[in-house]
Amino acid sequence: MATNLNIEVTPLPRVEGHGDLVLDVKNKKIEKLQMRIPESPRFFEAMLVGRKYTEPSHITSRICGICSVAHTFTSLQATEDALGVKLTEQTVKLRKLINHHECTQSHCLHVYFLAAPDFLGVGSVVPLIKTHPEVVNIAVNMKKIANEIVRIIGGRAVHPITTVVGGFTRIPSEEDLLRVKEMLLSLYPDLETSLKVLKTLKMPDFERETEYLCITNKEDYALYSGDIKSSDGWIIKPQDYLTKIKETVVQHSTGKHCSASRDSYMVGSLARINNNFSQLSDNAKTYWEEFGLPVPCYNTFINNIAQFVEIVHCVDDSIRLIDELLENGLDEAKSVPDVKPKAGRGVGAVEAPRGLLIHDYTYDNDGRIAKANLIIPTNMNYANIEKDMAKLVPEIIEKTEDEIRLACEMLIRAYDPCISCSTHMLNVELINK
Amino acid sequence: MSKPKVGVFGLTGCGGCQLEVLNLEDQLIDFINAVDIVHFTEAISEHSDTYEVALIEGSVSTMHDVERLEHIGKVAKIIIAVGACACTGGLNCLKNLYGTEKAKELVYGDKKGWIDAIDTKPISEYVKVDYFARGCPPTRSEIVDIVRSLIVGKTPEIPSYPVCVECKRLGNTCLYEFGMPCMGPVARAGCNARCPSVKSGCEACRGSIDDPNVNAQKDLLSQYGLTVEDIMEGFNLYNACVKIEQKTK
């Protein structure tokens, strides 16, 4: 039993980037609880100043290798909004296809490689190669297919090339899309097997209701575009994000903290399912119900399951998109960019795998950036992570220090924090004074 | 070297190069079996401070990076710089162009004193680098080739010819014919002309070749109505920390 604890996990392993957790408990009371983010600040808002409108998507893609596609599209949307560029249906559908498979790739990496070892009591995916070869093979194959789809359409799996302001430098052929469809259809047995395995994992019993934010639109389960929706009952245009979302600099983190209607909110798969469940594919809804989970669901650990269910949705929806693209026939001319620089402000909002992502650019007359603001999903989650931990730790204070340390790490990992993204990594520090 | 102990480290960067190691997929399990990965924060909880080979991603952009890198330099026998940020400083050098102090103020305002940030530099400014896996990101096969070469004790082959050679080999139409600027004539190959092959100009993310023919590039630019300024702006994307010597005609 832990009366006094001094836990420091530095660096927090199996998260993308660099973060530390500091937890100091005296006489069962939390004295200090911080997610410290010492990851090097990158200063993208400064790097973007003066750059030509063709470049921000290539620059901001490098904020994060794992969500390079989401950054690319948010950036393109912001630029297109500012320059008044309209896209064809073909371009939007091809972009959605790429976006879906960055989501699948990233969720797959997180659920199978980074989070699953916790539930199976090991330190990494490496021992699982021996103990759970079938699951590791499924994960490797699924990730490979997702990366291959991004590569076929985007030109490269990490940091896509073909996606530019106003369209594509090159579109895939109909044969390419048929090949992608084959690959997607081959995934269904793997999803079934995964469902059986994931159902056996015991998710920690923990609940804390909070505000959930994501994008939403009438046409589909919003991942690529939409207005910003809060579970607290408001919807705003992306351009008006500053009327609701506040950012503050805190000393223990190079990642800024965010708040909206309350003092913290959550973004990511669980937020999207809580806000937009009815628009999931029927198949994905069935998967969710297989886990016996409610909607909305207030257990942060279930974000892992929500990610898996979104993989199912992305596979289903990609097949729909491909069928529609093939039915209309692919036409390179429909994705050739036609862009003229002009002054103005534009905002892009996309669901990155780990949550809402916003880019806000102001261009000058020559089509160069005068001002940029980027709000990153992991930053949005920091305050909420600290609030979750403040509730979780007293609930498990009777456990051993190792168990508490692991539970805290698992909670943070459930958010799938991408700290390189938020400019900022994870390290658990239990302090015992 | 049989079954070397390998550490994978990230300094300031996007994690994309480490991700490319995880993206080895078909080769990932073989890779894990061929080497003994003792440190890889992005993928495993265990970590050890005993390793022979260090794969380092990211540039040096904070005092904390400097301390970590100098420590790795003392432990590792062989250092492999992985990706543009580690090799040339990469895109992070754009911050130097803007001004590091000014950038701190712009992003963190009156709280800038809390932030540890220094002018970005490639890792070779602090430690001896044995091999460079260039690119943003490097190709997966190149990372594997370098590590494989080390295991069997041969020197990895890194191309020192320009991307144009690869475009010619692939039969790509030159992007200058479409009026698009491209760094191909002076940029180091090895990516199989990844960008020009999908009709996007080369951005020289692998840096320049050892002895770039800058004058020929200038002639080519003027032939197509482009200026050195046009192209240098593009070159700066990944190479703002690098100076290209311009030979006199």
Q: Find the helix or strand (DSSP H, E) in which A402 lies.
A: helix A401-414
Asked if A254 has any chain B CB less than 8 Å from its own CB, the reply is yes
Q: Which residues of B touch A59 (CB under 8 A)?
A: 91, 94, 237
Task: Kindly list the distances between the CA atom of residue A381 and the CA atoms of A12, A300, A325, B14, B72, in Å, as whole numbers in the listed order.
Answer: 16, 11, 36, 19, 32
The pTM score is 0.91
Residues A291-322 as b/e (b if ≥16 CB within 10 A, e otherwise) read: bebeeebebbbbbbbbbbbbbbbbbbbbeebb
Give the model confidence (pLDDT) of B39-67 as tens digits: 886 666 667 788 999 999 999 999 989 99
- Encode A28-72 in three state secondary structure: CEEEEEEEEECCCCCCHHHHCCCCECCCHHHHHHCCCCCCHHHHH
Question: In the numeric block, which tokens belong to residue B153?
Answer: 């004790």
Q: How far apart are CA A358 and CA A225, in angstroms?
A: 11
Inter-chain contact B108–A162, Cβ cutoff 8 Å? no
Inter-chain contact B16–A147, Cβ cutoff 8 Å? no
Asked if A127 has any chain B CB less than 8 Å from its own CB, the reply is no
Q: How many CA atoms lie within 13 A of A164 on its CB side?
A: 21
Backbone angles phi, psi at B123, to 5 degrees: -65, -25
Inter-chain contact A68–B65, Cβ cutoff 8 Å? no
Query: What integer pLDDT is reported at residue A255 of this predicted model?
Result: 67
Q: How many CA atoms lie within 13 A of B209 on its CB side?
A: 20
Inter-chain contact B107–A43, Cβ cutoff 8 Å? yes
A 19-78 near B (Cβ less than 8 A): 38-43, 45-47, 49-50, 52, 55, 58-59, 62-66, 68
Higher pLDDT, B25 or A326: A326
Is the distance from CB of A159 to CB of B16 less than 8 angstroms?
Answer: yes
Measured from the Cβ of residue A61, the count of other Cβ atoms closer than 10 Å reads 27
Query: What integer pLDDT is reported at residue A318 of this predicted model?
Result: 98
Residues of chain A short of pLDDT 70, as ranges, are 1-3, 7, 9-19, 37-40, 253-255, 418-433
What DSSP character marks residue A341? -
Q: Is the pLDDT of residue B110 over 90?
A: no
Give the model confidence (pLDDT) of A337-365 as tens digits: 999 999 999 999 999 999 999 999 999 99
Higher pLDDT, A289 or B220: A289
Q: Which residues of B touch A155 (CB under 8 A)?
A: 194-195, 197-198, 200
Q: Find the helix or strand (DSSP H, E) in which A266 lies.
A: strand A265-266
Q: Which residues of A touch B203 (CB under 8 A)?
A: 58
Angle at B80 between CA B75 and CA B83, to 5 degrees: 135
Q: How far apart are CA A118 and CA A413, in angstroms?
A: 10
Is the distance from CB of A96 to CB of A379 less than 8 angstroms?
Answer: no
For residue A52, the cross-strand partners are A368
Q: Which one of B15, B98, B195 has the shortest CB-CB distance to A65?
A: B15
Q: How far apart are CA A140 and CA A232, in angstroms?
A: 38
Query: What integer pLDDT is reported at residue A306 of this predicted model?
Result: 98
Give the model confidence (pLDDT) of B112-131 as tens digits: 887 888 999 999 999 999 99
Q: How many helices (H) and strands (E) does chain A have?
A: 14, 15
Is the distance from CB of A27 to CB of A433 less than 8 angstroms?
Answer: no
Tell the burial category of A370 from Cβ atoms under 10 Å away from its Cβ (0-12, 13-18, 19+): middle
Kindly give, in sequence order, each residue whose CB lies less than 8 Å from that of residue A29, ignoring residues fewer than 6 positions away.
none
Q: How far apart are CA A126 and CA A409, in angstroms?
A: 19
The DSSP-derived string for chain B is: --S-EEEEEE-BS-SHHHHHHHTTGGGHHHHHHHSEEEEETTTBS---S--SEEEEESBB-SHHHHHHHHHHHHH-SEEEEESHHHHH-GGGGHHHHH-HHHHHHHHHGGGGGG------B-GGGTS--SEEE-SSSPPHHHHHHHHHHHHHT-PPP---SBHHHHHHHHTPPPGGGGT----TTTBB--S-STTGGGT-----TT-B-SS--HHHHHHHHHHTT--HHHHHHHHHHHHTT--------
Query: What integer pLDDT is reported at residue B248 of this predicted model?
Result: 39
Question: In the numeric block, which tokens belong to residue A99?
Answer: 């976006």
Query: What integer pLDDT is reported at residue A10 of this predicted model?
Result: 65
Question: Distance from first CA to last CA of chain A, Å, rounded?
Answer: 16
Task: Kindly list the distances between the CA atom of residue B163 and the CA atoms of A259, B181, B190, in Å, as whole numbers in the listed order.
Answer: 47, 14, 7
Inter-chain contact A14–B42, Cβ cutoff 8 Å? yes
Looking at the complex, report in whole angstroms how far the Cα of residue A320 sits from the nearest Cα belonging to chain B.
26
Is the distance from CB of A268 to CB of A416 less than 8 angstroms?
Answer: yes
Question: Which residue in B has a C-alpha nearest to residue A51's C-alpha?
Answer: B233
Query: What 3-state DSSP class applies to A234?
Result: strand
Residues A257-278 as b/e (b if ≥16 CB within 10 A, e otherwise) read: bbbbeeebbbbbbbbbbbbbbe
Q: Which residues of A touch B200 (CB under 8 A)?
A: 155, 161-162, 164, 169-170
Question: In the numeric block, which tokens belong to residue A131?
Answer: 């103990």
A 398-427 near B (Cβ less than 8 A): 418, 420-421, 425
Give the model confidence (pLDDT) of B129-166 as tens digits: 999 999 999 988 888 888 888 888 888 888 889 999 99
A 326-385 near B (Cβ less than 8 A): none
Question: Distance from first CA to last CA of chain B, Å, rounded?
Answer: 47
Q: How far apart are CA A399 and CA A413, in angstroms?
A: 20
Q: Mutate which of B6, B104, B107, B203 to test chain A, going by most A C-beta atoms within 10 A?
A: B107
Q: Which one of B25, B107, B111 has the shortest CB-CB distance to A46?
A: B107
Query: What integer pLDDT is reported at residue A421 of this predicted model?
Result: 43
How would residue B243 be classed by pLDDT, with cut points 50, 70 and 90?
low
Inter-chain contact B26–A140, Cβ cutoff 8 Å? yes
| Sheet of A211-216, strand order | A234-236, A227-230, A211-216, A265-266
Question: In the numeric block, which tokens belong to residue B14?
Answer: 């996007």
Inter-chain contact B16–A62, Cβ cutoff 8 Å? yes
Distance of CA B183 to the CA centre of its chain: 16
Kindly give, in sequence order, each residue whose CB lies less than 8 Å from that of residue A197, ignoring residues fewer than 6 positions away.
A132, A135
Q: How many CA atoms lie within 13 A of A82 on its CB side?
A: 33
Query: What integer pLDDT is reported at residue A132 of this predicted model?
Result: 86
Query: What integer pLDDT is reported at residue B249 of this predicted model?
Result: 36
Distance of CA A11 to the CA centre of its chain: 21
Question: Which residue in B has a C-alpha nearest to residue A42's C-alpha?
Answer: B92
Looking at the complex, report in whole angstroms how far the Cα of residue A205 sits from the nearest Cα belonging to chain B.
24
Place of tokens 């103990």: A131
Query: What integer pLDDT is reported at residue B46 of this predicted model?
Result: 65
Measured from the Cβ of residue B39, the count of other Cβ atoms closer than 10 Å reads 22
Query: What integer pLDDT is reported at residue A127 of this predicted model?
Result: 82
Asked if A138 has any chain B CB less than 8 Å from its own CB, the reply is no
Complex ipTM value: 0.90
Query: What integer pLDDT is reported at residue A422 of this predicted model?
Result: 39
Q: How far apart are CA A153 and CA A176, in angstroms?
A: 8
Query: What integer pLDDT is reported at residue B39 of this predicted model?
Result: 83
Looking at the complex, report in whole angstroms how far the Cα of residue A19 sits from the nearest Cα belonging to chain B.
11
Is the distance from CB of B78 to CB of B53 less than 8 angstroms?
Answer: yes
Instruction: Identify the sign of the CA torsion B155, B161, B163, B166.
Output: negative
Backbone angles phi, psi at B79, to 5 degrees: -115, 125
pLDDT average, residue stretch B209-213: 82
Place of tokens 């993208």: A44
